[in-house]
Amino acid sequence: MTLTLYVEDAQDRGGAGTPLLQAKALTKHFPLGGGAVVRAVDGVDFSVLKGETLGVVGESGCGKSTTARVVMQLIPQDKGELLFDGEAVGTRALSLKDYRRQAQMVFQDSYASLNPRLTIEDSVAFGPTVHGVPKAAAIERARELLAKVGLDPARFAARYPHELSGGQRQRVNIARALALGPRLVILDEAVSALDKSVEAQVLNLLADLREEFGLTYVFISHDLNVVRFISDRVMVMYLGEVVEIGPVEDLYDDPRHPYTRALLSAMPSMDPDNRTMEAPLAGDPPNPINPPEGCRFHPRCPHAQTVCAKVKPALVATSDAEGARRVACHMEIAGSGHSRAPALESAA
């Protein structure tokens, strides 16, 4: 079954070499009053290549959801730039309305994301009608999409959200996200609320849809197993900053940032003869209101030295892995002043 795309400018404009999405020094602060500021996203740089899935991991308060909301332009950034297929989002080259046809989002709470007073076919058809598709055509396409996500339209199309299970509702949200023929789909903890057996079904569905529609995903999750399964590359965030980004297997097999290492070794063991003996970190993740100076991880880092408390490490390419891996750690920066940093010559 082929589906007609209603978005006329969905063709690849920038060419295969241009990332689909580039975030440059993205910053979003929330003032709390009294001078306090939540530095939710603080100078985040990353790109998402065409057709890949970028996993984003980190603990609560690390800024992963705020990053997603800024990327969707649900909230405007304070600073920084967002390029979609080489064009700045929200300018004359690419208006917000045109951008939002091509970038869609699926949220964690499947129930809160749907209008309880619309049938699910009306919910899925809503976006296209806003963008000028005639109602009858939009409904027809909605029913095709419901079939695609595994909900038989004859049985489900006329139901209301409360008549569906959580897994079924999340399928509706996925169908709705696809209704405008987007190129980028942001999945913010989209499978986290589902039971394990249902989660596996939805992950399989997401993999199928990515293949069929040539989608690019940004997949945000706290579940490291799920991220490993679905992602091509993974970005690790801590207190509003990117600490490490790289190809999924490299990053899981050989994490370079001490925080990435801690996060991975905090995963429960699946081997009863080899249980976790020691927690990798003590205490809770700190509050992003007054993040530490220098490297934000240094108060919890087992390798912290004087330089770490003073100088903020840049996100730099590591010497190996053809520069695909970038790490923000003084131990990776030649001549940083950390005793474990590589010598200056070898970095040249």
Partner 1 sequence: MSTSSSTPLVAMENVTVRFRGAQTVHAVNGVSLTLEPGKVLGILGESGSGKSVTLKTLLRLLPESRTDIGGKVMVDGRDVLAMNAAELSAYRGAVTSMIFQDPALALDPVYTVGQQIAESITRHEKISAKAAMARALELLELVRIPSPERRLKAYPHEMSGGMRQRAMIALALAARPKLLLADEPTTALDATVQIQILLLLRQLQRDLGMGVIFVTHDIGVAVEVSDRLAVMYAGQIVETGTVRELLRNPQHPYTKGLLAANLHGAKKGERLEAIPGAPPALNEPPSSCSFAPRCRYAEPACGTALPPALSLGDARTVRCIRAEAGLQPA
List residues binding partner 1 (CB under 8 A). Answer: 59-60, 165, 167-168, 195-201, 203-204, 207, 222, 224-226, 228-232, 248-249, 262-263, 266-273, 275-285
Question: Would you say 138 or 237 has its CB closer to partner 1?
Answer: 237
Shortest reach from residue 222's CB to partner 1, in Å = 7
Shortest reach from residue 235's CB to partner 1, in Å = 16
Q: Residue 9, by phi and psi: left (phi above 0), alpha (psi -120 to 50) or beta?
A: alpha
Shortest reach from residue 203's CB to partner 1, in Å = 6
Shortest reach from residue 260's CB to partner 1, in Å = 11
Question: Would you say 123 or 231 has its CB closer to partner 1?
Answer: 231
Residue linked to tokens 């200056």: 344
Shortest reach from residue 131's CB to partner 1, in Å = 33
Question: Would you say 7 or 193 has its CB closer to partner 1?
Answer: 193
Shortest reach from residue 264's CB to partner 1, in Å = 9
Residue linked to tokens 């939540």: 38
Per-residue tokens: 180 = 């405008």
Contact present, 68 and 105 (Cβ < 8 Å): yes
Residue linked to tokens 């079954």: 1
